[in-house]
Amino acid sequence: MEIDKIVGHTAHRNHRLKLSNSMKPTIWIFSLEPLESRYTAQWHKNIPILLTNAADGKFNIRQVDGVQRATKVTAGAFLNFSDTNYWKSSQLCNFIELLDAGETTPNDRFLFTDIWNPVITQVKYINDLMGYHWQLHSIAHAGAYDPSDILGYKMEKPWPWHAERSWFHSCESTYFATEFHKNMFLKNLNIEPEFHHKAIRSGQPHTPIIEQCSQYLDTPKLATMIWPHRYNDDKQPKIVEDIIDGIHGNTIITQQLDLSKEQYYKVLGNSRVMFSCSLHENLGISIMEGVLAGVIPVLPDRCSYSEMYRPVFKYPSEWTINYESYLKYKNELVDFINDRMDNPEKYEEDMRIQRSMLIGWYLNADVMIGRLLA
């Protein structure tokens, strides 16, 4: 009797597999939980549209959601440390129900919009044991491999490094928005050279940011410096709090305000200068938003900033490498900022070129989409 049940179940599964073999393959999007305070809400809405348009009917595009219980991030962080695991675990359960219902094909593809998703392990497990030919793709944002990231200095080592290496090897391709980030990942996790081809430099799908921020490009800019970062040690808020008195104009520290995304964009669009002294930046969405809105960036020459921005917008890294060094170079930094506050017209051409660079190289996902659909 028990054997009959097993045989019957196997026959039923084989029938589903024959049906799925005749279906058009699907690209499954495992999204990050949509948070209005981050770009993840924009991605949740727009990545399925972007892929649907690009696929031109060759693939079905389906997004796998989880259950979202919280919409506020953990203090000083970029997500809710508890709820993100609930979201991802429920994503897996929802996908397995679709798998058991015969909704998949052996040639499906997967896009994990954050490589820090343990579901990668379980999807790869299913693929290998079922004999499928699924392709897994992922986007890297940050992780324990980066000593300046919150995961890098909070997580006990070495287990997260092994997990990150495993997820990388489980994927056909992993996408990094900057060469700086890609090279750091490969070096710090000791990825063998024969696998380096799986790490791909690609921009990210941020078309909505271009549209939303560019509407403020010609908004009159007030004598205001904006500091847009999380109140976290790697962003060095102590420096901006100290430098305020020397700036020619007002300074807005956005984390001290309770702004909606729309309110934030309006404040940003009215600002003249955007300042950063961050020690950790693998891409920097907020700075790109500022440039798109016509706000002059003032950035340290380190991390992804070195790669992404024109020399005129960067000050020497040692000026803010720590608070003590900042105090030593404070006068030089104040003069650097005030020159841009007082003479914004000097930087109009550089700003035009900088916007074109960001839109062409970092704010579109053409490379990633091309590989997903190949």
Do residues 337 and 261 both lie within one domain?
yes
Handedness of CA 65, 66, 72, 75 (dihedral sign): negative
- Confidence grade of residue 43 (pLDDT, cut at 50, 70, 90): very high
CA 321 to CA 307: how far, in whole Å?
Answer: 18
pLDDT of residue 80: 78
Residue 30 in contact with residue 111, Cβ under 8 Å? yes
pLDDT of residue 78: 60
pLDDT of residue 6: 32
The stretch 26-35 carries a mean pLDDT of 95
7, pLDDT greater than 50 = no
- With a CB cutoff of 8 Å and minimum separation 6, the contacts of 350 are 310, 312, 313
Do residues 83 and 131 both lie within one domain?
yes
- With a CB cutoff of 8 Å and minimum separation 6, the contacts of 67 are 86, 87, 90
Do residues 38 and 154 both lie within one domain?
yes
Amino acid at 322: N
Domain hosting residue 337, numbered range = 208-361
- Please tell me which residue, 103 or 10, carries the higher pLDDT value: 103
pLDDT of residue 77: 55
Residue 354 in contact with residue 284, Cβ under 8 Å? no
Do residues 254 and 299 both lie within one domain?
yes
246, pLDDT greater than 80 = yes
Do residues 69 and 138 both lie within one domain?
yes
Residue 58 in contact with residue 105, Cβ under 8 Å? no
The stretch 197-210 carries a mean pLDDT of 94
Do residues 115 and 193 both lie within one domain?
yes
Picking from 119, 33, 30, 43, the residue whose alpha carbon sits closest to that of residue 69 is 33
Do residues 220 and 144 both lie within one domain?
no
Do residues 116 and 191 both lie within one domain?
yes
Give me the CATH number covering residue 55.
3.40.50.2000
Do residues 162 and 259 both lie within one domain?
no
Q: What is the mean pLDDT of the chain?
A: 91
Per-residue DSSP letter, 140: -
pLDDT tens digits, one per residue of 184-201: 999 999 999 999 999 999
CA 164 to CA 116: how far, in whole Å?
Answer: 7
223, pLDDT greater than 50 = yes
CA 358 to CA 216: how far, in whole Å?
Answer: 16
Count CB-CB contacts under 10 A for residue 247.
18
The number of domains in the chain is 2
Do residues 187 and 232 both lie within one domain?
no
Count CB-CB contacts under 10 A for residue 80.
19
Do residues 163 and 217 both lie within one domain?
no
Q: Please report the beta strands in the chain, taking only residues with DSSP state E, as ranges in sequence order.
A: 26-30, 60-64, 109-112, 135-139, 173-176, 199-201, 224-227, 250-253, 273-275, 296-300, 314-315
Cis peptide before 118 (omega within 30 of 0): no
CA 277 to CA 302: how far, in whole Å?
Answer: 10
pLDDT of residue 258: 83
Do residues 332 and 226 both lie within one domain?
yes
pLDDT of residue 231: 84
Buried b (16+ CB within 10 A) or exposed e, 124-141: beebeeeebebbbbbbbb
The stretch 326-342 carries a mean pLDDT of 98
pLDDT tens digits, one per residue of 263-316: 999 999 999 999 999 998 999 999 999 999 999 999 999 999 999 999 999 999
pLDDT of residue 76: 53
